[in-house]
Structure 1
Amino acid sequence: MVATKEFQVRVKKRERVVPMHPIVQHNLPLSNLDLLLPPKDVGVFLCYKRPSYSYRFWSFELMVSTLKTALAQALVHFYVFSGDVVRNSKGEAEILCNNQGVEFVEAYANIELCELNLHNPDESVEGKLLLPKQSRVLSVQATELKCGGIVVGCTFDHRIADAYSGNMFLVSWAELANSKPLTMMPSFTKSFLNPRLPSSYDPSLNDMYIPISTLLPPRENNNETPPCRNDPLLSRIYHVNAKEISHLQSQTNGTKLESFSAFMWKLISKHASISQNEPKVASSITCKMGIVVDGRTRLVINKGDNNSMHKKEIIGCYFGNVLSVPFGEKKLSDLIEKPLNLIAQDVHEFLRKVKSDEHFRDLIDWVEVHRPKLCLAKIYSNGRDDGPAFVVSSGQRFPVSKVDFGWGKPIFGSYHFPWGGNAGYVMPMPSSKGNGDWIVYMHLTQGQLEFIEKEASHVFKRFKLF
């Protein structure tokens, strides 16, 4: 493995960027789907080359000024990012929209863009290009590099926004930096996700979600991450050629994501089987794979309203979490022996069951019945002791090419989410080149990553920026 070049990051300035026009202070309750997310931070970073000759007037100081001015404008519309997470009388999290602003960090890193080993974000990104969020809902870091390039990083509270919402914010921020009107105005109408009266749900949801209190002994009834085992979870970034993605899909009748997920399921299972010293034990172990499903295209709003375009507009602009995490569970032997097309059919089947308005309404009601208990997706706590488990979250709508603040498009962008559970996490995203290639962020055990690099080296290439 290529060693990461050692470099230091010097924080030059910390300040708070507040909305250009403050709103009236108020409390905004989280939706039932927001309440399913643990208090975890999600990072995203974008790398920009030194502005070319056509952008010769740009300096780091001017870039930062542009970022802060546009951020102050964006916070007028995305005001939840300038608030605080507080507890209500029931002990549940909600947003205090108080115009307190966003932490903005200016930093300098004594390394050139071409020297960054982004294949290993644990060393090159974590705690450097994405400093820990000290407080609040969102923090932003602009890091000047020795070559004149810049890395813009954001860290936000996942309870407040999913990736779709984060993408909406990034695009709007860039549009305002270029004095363009917003193409999408965020909606915070949480009533769109209100539970039904009376609440009812399919019992199968009890197998998908679980109260956190049932996962730990009573004296440890909290959200602490389970202790790390001998094989630590690490983050890595890979490049996958468009031809390899198409080849995987050609072996199945599924979508690219279904085919890719089936391939990952097979790889993780094969590694688990090889890792077992006793074949009889290995034959009884299962492997779980979850896939994050966005409910925005599934939910139906205002069923009496025949204006379908109006419905799509409301759903598309909704800011918050609209996610479900169904998963499949199969014996290692079945996943190893089955051809890829049959595994892809299994993936398609467990996804089909949740791609409906009814499923998401049921999920909202399930949370309502269990409130104020904190709950989360069951697969988040699975893995290690009861067989491997991981989640695939599609980042195909990551708008990397649209986040141009005025000095050129990013040459690379990725989410960074070492989420802290026992289960692994995999997120494929489009390459900034726009040629159909994928960038795949993985947060898996060291053993799993080493096996994948050996077994599927033709698919997963260690990412190199240049």
Structure 2
Amino acid sequence: MEENPKERKMSVILRKKCIVKAMNEYLSPERHHKLTLSNLDLLSGRFPVTYLYLYYHSRSDRGSINISNNVFESLKTSLAKTLSYYYPFAGRIVEDPQTSQTLIICDNNGALLVEAVANIPLIHLDFYNLNQTLEGILVSCLNPDEFPFPVQVQVTYYTCGGVSITFTFDHALGDATAFGNFLSSWSQLARDMPLSCIPDLDLGRSLPPRLPPTYHPYFNHVFVKCTLEDIRNIPKTGILLKRLYFVDASSINHLQTLASADSNKRTKIEAFSAYVWKIMATSIDESHANCKMGWLVDGRGRLSHSSMSNYIGNVLSVAIEEASIVEIKQGSISAIANNVHRAISKVTNEAHFQDLIDWIECHKPGLMLPRFVLGREGPALVISSGRRFPVAELDFGFGSPVLGTVSSTIENSGVGYMNQRPSARGDGSWVISAILWPQLAAALEYDSVLQPLCASHLQKS
């Protein structure tokens, strides 16, 4: 009896791997130096960050998608050019044994590029269950002892002619803005286009503290110095489910209308946060009286340092708000959205970021994290907006993607995460990548706003 293709278990065979170095004609000798991580780099730790992009193509398109060579060789060549502009991404990240400081050695060690072949058509991927989908289609190991490459890319071909590309970065290299600029530059160079962003790397990672450093006592309560052992020993929270959801534009607009009911215009992410917080409150057991929500905030545009728009590194902080579960359950979407707006507004200013830089300066060396991320302060969820992150624009010369999203290979998390991206449909809809505990996933899916992502959501309307 012939096997049903839809029931076939996906297997992936690695076909080739290579180390891609920056092109020498772009990489001047004086750039072979050490970069000390900025204070805000230390706040992001050494977590791997993975971006997943899917490209649909039928077999009839194989003239433009030559499975044997064209895609891989094109990406290899354009990656070498891109690394010349973003030369720290081709370096090594090490700890200085004398100072215990983390350094980027800009020695053109290279990035890892892997090619693989799957035994199913792309449409048969489980788009909803990222725990399962990511198995086999990304370079799984980011251990510096085994794979000393802070940039790892896997290109996987499917029986239909479709392609997935996973890009995994060491968070010490940068944040979403830095990685978005890198990927945009790569896609532009792959199509022989001029770069829309020339990264400013000549000044290194200069986010200096004040002399003497000073900060508000608030920072002692929100952030903590920690070790790799603290991170490895995060309590087993059950936050293990990695999911992808689709939110249509009409749902987003409706939530924004509800959030702005008291004549205070709220953003779409503030409205969405209020909705999720209300759902979250119903998923928490009675042993907890309060819960927290956090929002990642980009400091570019808030700091007065020069060249911040093209700064490549981490410039992130987090806004945090705690509320009683009863208050959230009983509150209106507009009232909760007002709380969200106030919490974020406290962080979106230069004084906050300068205080944070100074706080880290006073607690070096080592890693720093928001306290609640270690999972010891009760139920919490972090929401990140990626509305400026390139999705449909990421064309490497073989068409626009049907999906672009973010995930993580971490196995245990102290808090839940939800990351918003515009969908590739270009109609105002969103794709949400989430790391959740089972009760929250069930509560979200009981309603109709967050729909488990499926193949039909990837088709343009």
Shared fold (TM-score, shorter chain, > 0.5): yes
Q: Which residue of 1 aligns with 2:310?
A: 317
Q: Does 1:365 align with 2:358?
A: yes
Is the CA contact 2:12–2:116 (under 8 Å) kept in the aligned structure 1?
yes
Distance in 2, Cα, partners of 1:287 & 1:321: 27
What SS is found at the alignment partner of 2:74? helix
Matched-pair contact (CA < 8 Å) for 1:292–1:393: yes
Deviation sequence 1:199-233 (CA, Å, 0-9, x none) = 111111122211115xxxxxx9553142424x342
Q: Is residue 235–residue 418 contact of structure 1 (8 Å, CA) maintained in 2?
A: no
User: Secondary structure at 2:120's aligned position in 1?
Assistant: coil
8, 11, 29: which is aligned to 1:8?
11
Q: For the residues of structure 2 that align with 1:350 and 1:4, how far apart are their CA atoms? A: 47
Match of 2:424 in 1: 432
* Native 8 Å contact 1:259 1:344 kept in 2: yes
Paired AA for residue 71 in structure 1: L
Moved over 6 A (4+): 51-55
How much does 1:135 deviate?
2.9
Q: Distance in 1 between matches of 2:311 and 2:58?
A: 34
Residue in structure 1 matched with residue 459 of structure 2 by the alignment:
none
CA RMSD of the aligned region, Å?
1.9
Partners of 1:222 and 1:116 in 2: CA distance: 35
Aligned residue pair count: 434
Task: State the alpha-carbon separation in 1 of the partners of residues 64 and 441 from structure 2.
Answer: 43
* Residue number among 392, 396, 415 corresponding to 1:423 in the alignment: 415
Structure 1 counterpart of 2:243: 236
Q: What corresponds to 1:94 in structure 2? A: 103
Q: How far apart are 1:57 and its partner, in Å? A: 3.7
2:435 partner letter? H
The Cα of 1:269 is off from its aligned counterpart by 1.1
Q: Which residue of 2 aligns with 1:460?
A: 450
Partner residue of 2:223? 209
1:103 aligns with 2:148: no
1:114 to 123, 128, 131: 123
Deviation of the 1:5 alpha carbon? 5.5
Percentage identity across paired residues of the two chains: 35
Counterparts of 1:8-407 in structure 2 under 5 Å? 8-21=11-24, 22-24=27-29, 25-50=32-57, 56-60=63-67, 61-88=69-96, 89-133=98-142, 134-188=147-201, 189-190=203-204, 192-212=206-226, 221-229=229-237, 231-253=238-260, 254-272=266-284, 275-276=285-286, 281-282=287-288, 285-301=289-305, 314-382=307-375, 386-407=377-398
Query: Secondary structure of the equivalent of 2:179?
Result: helix
For residues 412 and 183 of structure 1, what CA distance do their matches in structure 2 show? 22
Secondary structure class of the residue paired with 2:418: strand
The 8 Å contact of residues 269 and 388 in structure 1, kept in 2 or not, is answered as no
Q: Deviations over 1:174-204 (max 9, x none)?
A: 1101111111011233454111111111111
1:35/1:447 Cα in 2 relative to 1: closer, same or farther (>3 Å)? same
* AA at the equivalent of 1:84: R
Distance 2:70 2:58 in 1: 12
Asked whether the equivalents of residues 121 and 160 of structure 2 are also in contact (C-alpha less than 8 Å), the reply is: yes
Structure 2 letter corresponding to 1:299 = L
d(CA) in 2 for partners of 1:392, 1:128? 26
Whether the 8 Å CA contact 1:82–1:100 is kept in 2: the answer is: yes
Going from structure 1 to structure 2, the CA distance change for 1:27 and 1:451 (only over 3 Å counts) comes to same
Structure 1 position 127, deviation (Å): 4.0
Q: Structure 1's 184 and 438: CA in aligned 2 closer, same or farther, altered over 3 A?
A: same
C-alpha contact (below 8 Å) 2:240/2:413 kept by paired residues: no
Equivalent position amino acid for 2:452 in 1:
R
Tell me what 1:216 maps to.
none
In 2, Cα distance between equivalents of 1:63 and 1:417: 25
**Does the Cα contact within 8 Å between 1:172 and 1:183 map onto a contact in 2?**
yes
Q: Distance in 2 between the 1:110 and 1:153 partners?
A: 17
For residue 91 of structure 2, what is the amino acid of its counterpart? G
Distance in 2 separating the partners of 1:27 and 1:117: 42
Measured in 2, the distance between the counterparts of 1:128 and 1:225 equals: 28
The amino acid that maps onto 2:274 is A
* Aligned-partner SS, 2:414: coil
Letter paired with 1:102: A
What are the superposed Cα offsets for residues 132-162 of structure 1, whole Å, 9 maximum, x if unpaired? 3333210011111111111111100011111
SS in 2 for 1:325: strand
| Letter of the 1:449 counterpart | A
How far 1:54 sits from its partner (Å)? Answer: 7.6
- In the alignment, the residues of structure 1 paired with residue 40 and residue 385 of structure 2 have an alpha-carbon distance, to the nearest angstrom, of 18
What code does the residue aligned with 2:35 have?
L
- SS of the residue 2:435 aligns to: strand
Query: Does residue 428 of structure 2 align to residue 447 of structure 1?
Result: no
Q: Secondary structure at the match of 2:322?
A: strand
Structure 1 residue 52 displacement after superposition: 8.2
What per-residue deviation string (whole Å, max 9, x for no partner) do you get for residues 13-42 of structure 1?
111011111443210011100011121100
